[in-house]
Amino acid sequence: MEATMLTRLEVDGFKNMVNFSLDFGPYTCIAGPNGAGKSNIFDAIRFLSLLTDHTINEAALQTRNAGEETGNIQDLFFFGAGERSSRMRFLAEMIVDEKVRDDFGREAKASSSFLQYEIAFRYADPSPTTGFLGGLLLEKEELNYITQQEAIHRLKFPNRKNKFLNSVVHNSRRGAGFISTKQDPTTGQAAISVHQDGGSRGRERPSPAKMAAKTIIGTENTSFTPTILAARNEMRSWRVLALDPAAMRRPDHSTQPPGIAANGAHIPATLQHLAYAAPQDDPEYDVCGQMSRRLSELAPVKGVSVDEDKQRQRLALEIMEHSGLKLQANSISDGTLRFLALAALAETVDESAVICMEEPENGIHPAKLNAMNRLLHDIAVDPEEEAVAPDNPLRQVIVATHSPYFVQLQDK
């Protein structure tokens, strides 16, 4: 069973964040007025996720508002008292899926499932001498393990140790971590070493930090370093949803793989897949019926279905009102579409992920916000009732809101 979760984030020097730290639970609601910097938390998470597939400077430029007009990466650094910081640091603690498969199809198992990842950068100006165009230079990168005993104190949310914690936190590593940074005695510069999972320390492979175009997390992708690969897979799975009504309204081709995209696309393909993949030993399970029941809390809806046009090989979303009127996707409200996309995520039990979302209250009448609140809680894992299992997947929900109505619904 896949298991992924971001349990703690520390940020220093990024945007408006100075010595910032936040512990996350299965469901976390971040509340504050507009302009308080809630979005910057998601930007930090997205930046770390982008580092798994892009060069350091590409990831920086793809982070929201990173010099959109000037292409100036310095805009990501904290600015205060008339001065701009030249360094930024990130630390993330995370639960990862132990089972990994590399690009060659080779399977392996990570030595530890609870990891601490730390990375730091400094800004460097363009250099005509070296040809460096300016941007971020890697100063430090480390990946260490957290033991089960330490996890008891690191996890700040209520959980049943004998069930939840024991089902997701495992460690067989001793001694050094998996990535370390030390000063090279010859050059005096920071050098980053990779320690393979074999043995207590693993074989070191040092590389000069400042020469790195990509992070170690972004380059190691073989079964010989399964714990680093597990961390990479975890960070890659962090999703910041930006649900787009236009994307959610588009029909899918009949061959579209299932899975709700970050913009909310592919609701029809996902529902169709869930219907086909319904457990044979549970004939009463009806995904569209379950979606209809959820949606009825929000709107007068009788049914949710997927219209399959076999000739055109097209799948389209439609809902039926209590009056019997069928509505195509282009006639469904934005708020209803957002709710449907999240409801589809809730039904996708084989997909574990960290799901971040801003302003879940958008498009929802205040009187109906409790339906959205319940849905978001249903998506997240329940750490108090049982162990992580197919019917309780380790999914995490982090939302940011400025709605006092939505805040009042928390802990109810």
**CA 25 – CA 31 distance, rounded (Å):** 15
CB 76 within 8 A of CB 84: no
Averaged in consecutive runs of 10 residues, what is the pLDDT profile of the chain (412 residues)?
Answer: 83 96 95 90 96 95 66 87 91 95 90 96 84 85 94 84 81 90 86 79 71 92 92 93 95 94 94 79 68 88 90 93 90 93 84 86 91 93 77 88 94 67
Q: Where are the alpha helices (DSSP H) in 262-348?
A: 267-276, 287-296, 334-347
Judged by DSSP in three states, 264 sits in coil
Encode burial over 212-235: b for 16+ CB neighbours within 10 A, e otherwise.
bebbbbbbbbbbbbbbbbbbbbbb
| Backbone φ, ψ for residue 216 (5° rounding) | -65, -40
Residues in the chain: 412
Nearest to 52 by CA among 236, 224, 222: 236
**CA 28 – CA 22 distance, rounded (Å):** 10
**CA 105 – CA 125 distance, rounded (Å):** 41
pLDDT at 208: 86
DSSP state of 258: P
For the chain, domain boundaries:
5-237, 243-351
Block residue for tokens 């799948």: 315
CA–CA distances in Å: residue 249 to residues 48, 246, 347: 30, 5, 19
Extract the tokens encoding 108. 């392996």
Name the strand (E) or helix (H) holding 245: helix 245-249
List Cβ neighbours of 142 (8 Å cut-off, separation of 6 or more): 116, 117, 118, 119, 177, 179, 180, 181
Name the strand (E) or helix (H) holding 378: helix 369-379
Does this model's pTM top 0.85? yes
Nearest to 96 by CA among 224, 301, 233, 254: 233
pLDDT at 203: 58
**CA 274 – CA 283 distance, rounded (Å):** 13
User: In the chain, helix, strand, coil percent, each to 5?
Assistant: 30, 30, 45
